[in-house]
Amino acid sequence: MPEIIGRSAVTLARQVRRGDLTPTEVVDAHLDRIDAVDDQVNAFVTLNDDARAQAREATEAVEAGEPLGPLHGVPVAIKDLSNTAGLRTTLGSALLAENVPEEDAIVVRRLKDAGAVVIGKTNTPEFGRLSTVTRNRLFETTRNPWNTAKTTGGSSGGSAAAVAAGMVPLAQGSDAAGSVRTPAAACGVFGLMPDFGRVPHGNDRPDAFINTHPFSFLGPITRSVEDAALMLDVMAGPDDRDPFTRPAREESYRTALRDPVEDLRVAYSPDLGVCPLVDDVREAVDGLVDELRGTVATVDRVDPDLPGWEAAHEPLATLLQARYRGIYDAFREDQGVDILDRREEVTDEVVSRVEKSLELSAGDVRRAERRRTTVYDAVQDLFADYDLLVSATLSVPAFDIDSPPTAIDGESVHPVHGFTLTWPFNLTGNPTASVPAGRVDGLPVGLQVTGRRGGDDTVVAAGAACERLAPWDDAYPVDPR
């Protein structure tokens, strides 16, 4: 690999500040890396034509002795669901193929204000739809850098693949049912879903309340926990435009990297009682948990009192369906476009979800929230006795793009969420992360680490402990194929 590629964002930022590297050198190296490998991976859908010019300006700022932000000169990728001023934002839909926003999303503005150089936009399923394959009708399907026949997961698959393949050190993702953690696990990187409201959505209008149905998060996807903490320090913080915004933290998330873990009580449920695991994945996560057992106060095997898979998943499916009614209404009211009148331009799954959303009643949504409360209570009851809940992130390694599993160990599973253990925490709002836990047949496996509400610093501390026990930073798919 070129020398610059593979260095952490923390290292790059420090070397830029010291003058050991220039932002121009850093951005050029990553653009060259994109040019070398992205035709195999398809992580990026739009590159920023001004990235090199912005890097030169950042270099001049260093030379002039100007104040520098914590990410000065560091390349970052933005998921194509988040608005970027002057840079195409399509949401993976042909309906928005030429959409160029005038205003940055709050997280994008904060990253830019910290000195980061937005290098491009990463692929997502259309409207970030419920999918574990990052594909749409507008761009090529994103492929796993470890094996390009395999999926990256979704919906932040482009971001995770870009980080895994060394095309950027940092990428932004969003998560409504596992969309940060699923691709992080499939691609062997670290994906963090912080406390709900910690990173504000803010300028989501006209519906500022949509992100509670279910809880939808913005978070970092990185190679190291320290990089995620640095990125989260920049992204997090209150904004009054988000009705669920949280107060500012008194300390940096980077301080949590050094927090002691010796007194933590850990509950371990490999499958959360709702999702069968293949044996190799179970062995991989068992192995990392065994390592963790020697560093924390206790690790107990538990069976969360969750309802069965169908009963637990139904409220998520209903609430996601309601979001599609919001998408449909927004297109009609804001852009004069009826999605169903232009269904030939939209994926069949989106058409189906829109049609079903039109059948939902207010009673359907309220019943879903009541069933959601059962899931919420079961998870919070467990945290009365434990600081963390750990499980597998996915019950299978990355699968062939066109062949999602329909059965595991002879048990039939849902072809989208029957092998993910991420979505329950979008019903509850608990902070959670996917930590690399080794590889099975050359494909990454993730361990999901979940904390109490308000406990994302504990999740960061536990992720850092796992990284110290089983370092993964040198595991790069150098030549994707």
The pLDDT of residue 481 is above 80: no
> Domains in the chain, ordered, with CATH?
9-469 (3.90.1300.10)
pTM for this predicted structure:
0.97
The pLDDT of residue 331 is above 60: yes
- Report how far apart the first and last C-alpha atoms of the chain are (Å, whole number): 16
Q: Which of 8, 82, 93, 179 is catalytic?
A: 179
Mean pLDDT along residues 22-34 = 98
pLDDT interval class at 416 (50, 70, 90): confident
Mean pLDDT of all residues in the chain?
A: 95
Encoded tokens for 75: 């390349």
The pLDDT of residue 2 is above 70: no
Q: Listing from the earlier edge strand, what are the strands of the sheet with 44-47?
A: 44-47, 117-122, 75-79, 170-175, 217-222, 190-193, 432-440, 443-451, 388-392, 265-268, 298-301
pLDDT of residue 329: 94
- Catalytic site residue 179? yes
pLDDT per position as a tens digit, 113-156: 999 999 999 999 999 987 899 999 999 999 999 999 999 999 99
pLDDT of residue 81: 97
Strand partners of residue 450: 389, 432
The pLDDT of residue 478 is above 70: no
pLDDT interval class at 480 (50, 70, 90): low
Q: What percent of the chain has pLDDT over 90?
A: 93
Mean pLDDT along residues 301-318 = 95
Q: Which of 93, 155, 216, 395 is catalytic?
A: 155
HSE-CB for 58 with a 13 A CA cutoff: 33
pLDDT of residue 203: 74
pLDDT interval class at 382 (50, 70, 90): very high
Closest-CA residue to 198 (of 257, 240, 259, 244): 244
